[in-house]
Amino acid sequence: MDPDRTRVIHRELNRSYPTLVRGEGVYLYDDQGKRYIDGSGGSAAVTAIGHGVQEVVDALAEQAARLAFAPSHAFTTDAVEECARLVVEEFAPEGFGKVWFVSGGSEATDNAVKMAIQYHRERGEGSRHLVIGRRSSFHGATIAALGFGGNAGRRRPYAAILPPAEHIAPCHPYRCRANSACPECDLSCADDLEFTIRQVGAENVAAFIAEPVVGATLGAAPATPGYFQRIREICDRYGVLFIADEVMTGFGRTGQRWGLDHWGVTPDLITCAKGISGGYAPLGTVLAKSEFVGEVRSRSGSFVIGHTSSGNALSCAVGIAVLRYILD
């Protein structure tokens, strides 16, 4: 589309974008008949099962005809309940029993942090408000998520209004700050978390957030062996919740159900999106341990979170179809 003719605010205002009209399997087609290979799954691990899967199309149409929307603050739906059941029973790590639905990864990050802070507050640790992320990381494009992430280029235009957050060294074997190499690595990048927690005061830290495999900022960089085990130990030592950003790596994108499964590590909260709906509808989730949710249920009885489209019936129907397709 010619930038002078379009009414859309595209990301690049002077670029002429090809107009896609159809997708089938791994291929995309534009209005000029040109075929593209969707080699990166929608550029960011989105189209997990390919384009034009009829089972997903049918599920979306059937749900739209039956019930398109219900306000989640007042009702539940069979679609949201079944999608949550599938996520928990077929994919979630042991101990995870509850799911909060949102529209994408950025919302998942924001809500996971809100839940972590409220969890601490209800346990009498109201000073725990800081989030520690990593430099060269990305957890979403909302103001809050940009603040927790460490993508310098995306943060720069909004630096003045980003929430306060700390950032430690990334785990990047190809650009190690200590010039170490596997297997001699001393995991100093993981120990940077403990240093930072002690520097700002453990009583002030709510959560640490990290991608198992860094995607948008480092380009598919996995962690060094032993790194996440050390991170888990440090979080436990100081009462800090570990949020795993599995938005790009969840639901089998790395060969395991979750990226952290490669290291046998279990976080406290998991954010996910993208692959759960395969690009057919906006959908994201926060997975929480049953014990975590139980703490809040036994006190205030309510998380102070919510969006208009939280638990959208159409998106959850798509999620059900995509997850069943993956399982089959």
Rounded to the nearest 10 degrees, the angle between the axes of helix 78-86 and helix 313-327 is: 30
* Stated pTM of the model: 0.94
- Report residue 235 as tokens: 């979080």
Task: Kindly report whether the peptide bond that precedes residue 183 is cis, defined as omega within 30 degrees of 0.
Answer: yes
223 versus 60: the higher-pLDDT residue is 60
Tell whether 20 and 103 lie within a shared domain: no
* Residue 235 confidence (pLDDT): 98
Q: What is the pLDDT of residues 8-38, one digit of tens each?
A: 999 999 999 999 999 999 999 999 999 999 9
Residue 217: pLDDT band by 50, 70, 90 thresholds? confident
Residue 77 forms part of a structural domain: yes
Tell whether 5 and 153 lie within a shared domain: no
Residue 103 · residue 173 · CB < 8 Å = no
Residue 277 forms part of a structural domain: yes
Mean pLDDT of the chain: 94
Tell whether 13 and 110 lie within a shared domain: no
DSSP structural state of residue 134: E
Residue 45 forms part of a structural domain: no
Residue 256 CB neighbours (<10 A):
14
Tell whether 250 and 163 lie within a shared domain: yes
**Lowest mean per-residue pLDDT among 67-81, 113-127, 170-184, 298-312:** 170-184
Structural domain span for residue 9: 1-37
Residue 46 forms part of a structural domain: no
Q: What is the pLDDT of residues 100-109, one digit of tens each?
A: 999 999 999 9
Stretch 61-70: mean pLDDT, rounded? 97
* Residue 218 confidence (pLDDT): 82
* Residue 204 confidence (pLDDT): 98
- CATH of residue 157's domain is 3.40.640.10
Tell whether 188 and 291 lie within a shared domain: yes
| Structural domains of the chain, count | 2
Residue 42 forms part of a structural domain: no
Residue 164 · residue 147 · CB < 8 Å = yes
Tell whether 172 and 24 lie within a shared domain: no
Stretch 58-72: mean pLDDT, rounded? 97
* Residue 171 confidence (pLDDT): 86
Residue 183: pLDDT band by 50, 70, 90 thresholds? low
Percent of the chain beyond pLDDT 90? 83
* Residue 148 confidence (pLDDT): 96
Tell whether 86 and 32 lie within a shared domain: no
Stretch 179-198: mean pLDDT, rounded? 81
Stretch 96-119: mean pLDDT, rounded? 98
Rounded to the nearest 10 degrees, the angle between the axes of helix 188-200 and helix 227-238 is: 20
Stretch 246-253: mean pLDDT, rounded? 94
Residue 48 forms part of a structural domain: no
Percent of the chain beyond pLDDT 70? 97
Tell whether 25 and 149 lie within a shared domain: no
Q: What is the pLDDT of residues 271-288, one digit of tens each?
A: 999 999 999 999 999 999
* Residue 185 confidence (pLDDT): 73
* Residue 220 confidence (pLDDT): 84
Residue 182 forms part of a structural domain: yes
Residue 177: pLDDT band by 50, 70, 90 thresholds? low
